[in-house]
Amino acid sequence: MLAGMPAVGSFHLVRSTSALRAMARLGTDRRMLGAVPGLRFWRLLGTGSGSDTGPGADLRRTALFAIWDDEASLEAFHVRMAARWAEADEAWHVRLRALGGHGAWRGRAVLDELQPASAGAAASPVAIITRADVRLRSWRPFRAAGRPVSEELQGADGLLAVVGIGEAPVGRLGTFSLWRDLAAARAYATAMPGHREVVRRTRSEHWYGEELFARFEPYASAGSWDGRDPLRARTGTNMP
């Protein structure tokens, strides 16, 4: 790690040609990522079905969240993975700067390491990651709350795209979402009754052993997510 040097974040969403190939690559990619130069932190993730953030999984689609020493390290990774991503049914990638939040990911304060967002980023599209380690005793109420909150989220004003994410073992779950701007994301969080009630219960009933709520500036994107780049018309900046 380059001490004191702010890092670059990235999120990658890849749909394979088959569930068998996607699951096999989860195993091979774990070994590969451990030796990638400039990669500080990474998490391979499964995803939910479509934009549904409730129970369920899309076994053909996987995701990766990563933190890099610098832009050059991320560029080299894109070159290394280009042939594989070209063979996929679909792949989408975004670069991220920190815009605020709280919490940790498996003990790592990931926001503390990233480059800060540019001036005025809150008025542009915003990416949000929420994740939590759900306590075993809280799994049943958490699952029960998931469906209505997902349905409520689908109709939120300003939502550009959303995907449920999770990592092994069972119970480490979250979402990656894109919003028109920070105001739209905050309006959803404060105005939707289902979401407000779940937030209240997570606090009062201590559902989570660890949680992360992280906001990012998505400053460059490439590829397609469900047939389009949800940021293309918003950022005006695309990766090669």
Query: Which range (22-26, 155-159, 211-215) has the least confidence?
Result: 22-26
Give the pLDDT band of residue 214 (cuts 50, 70, 90): very high
Q: Is residue 200 part of a domain?
A: yes
pLDDT computed for residue 54 by the predictor: 80
- pLDDT per position as a tens digit, 4-27: 567 999 999 999 999 999 999 888
CATH number at residue 92: 3.30.70.100
Mean of pLDDT values over 200-204: 89
- Give the number of other Cβ atoms within 10 Å of residue 56's Cβ: 14
Q: Is residue 237 part of a domain?
A: no
- Give the number of other Cβ atoms within 10 Å of residue 53's Cβ: 26
Angle at 73 between CA 240 and CA 214, to 5 degrees: 85
Mean of pLDDT values over 18-39: 93
Q: Flag whether the pTM goes above 0.85.
A: yes
pLDDT computed for residue 143 by the predictor: 84
Residue 76 in contact with residue 98, Cβ under 8 Å? no
The whole-angstrom separation of Cα 157 and Cα 168 is: 32
Q: Is residue 112 part of a domain?
A: yes
Query: Which range (6-20, 34-48, 188-202) has the least confidence?
Result: 188-202
Q: Is residue 195 part of a domain?
A: yes
Mean of pLDDT values over 153-178: 91
Look at residue 219 and tell me whether its pLDDT is greater than 50: yes
Q: Is residue 240 part of a domain?
A: no
Q: Is residue 177 part of a domain?
A: yes
The whole-angstrom separation of Cα 221 and Cα 231 is: 7
Q: Is residue 63 part of a domain?
A: yes
pLDDT computed for residue 236 by the predictor: 44
- pLDDT per position as a tens digit, 61-101: 999 999 999 999 999 999 999 999 999 999 999 999 999 99
The whole-angstrom separation of Cα 98 and Cα 7 is: 10
Look at residue 240 and tell me whether its pLDDT is greater than 50: no
pLDDT computed for residue 198 by the predictor: 85
Q: Is residue 239 part of a domain?
A: no
The 3-class SS string of the chain reads CCCCCCEEEEEEEEECCCHHHHHHHHHHHHHHHCCCCCEEEEEEEEECCCCCCCCCCEEEEEEEEEEECCHHHHHHHHHHHHHHHHHCCEEEEEEEEEEEEEECECCECHHHHECECCCCHHHCCEEEEEEEEECHHHHHHHHHHHHHHHHHHHCCCCEEEEEEEEECCCCEEEEEEEECCHHHHHHHHHHCHHHHHHHHHHHHCCCEEEEEEEEEEEEEEEECECCECCCHHHHCCECC
Q: Give the Å distances, CA to CA, from 227 to 15, 90, 222.
A: 11, 8, 12
Look at residue 124 and tell me whether its pLDDT is greater than 90: yes
For the chain, the distance separating the N- and C-terminal CA atoms, rounded to the nearest angstrom, is 26
Number of domains composing the chain:
1
Angle at 181 between CA 236 and CA 199, to 5 degrees: 145
Look at residue 135 and tell me whether its pLDDT is greater than 90: yes
pLDDT computed for residue 234 by the predictor: 52
Residue 128 domain boundaries:
8-222
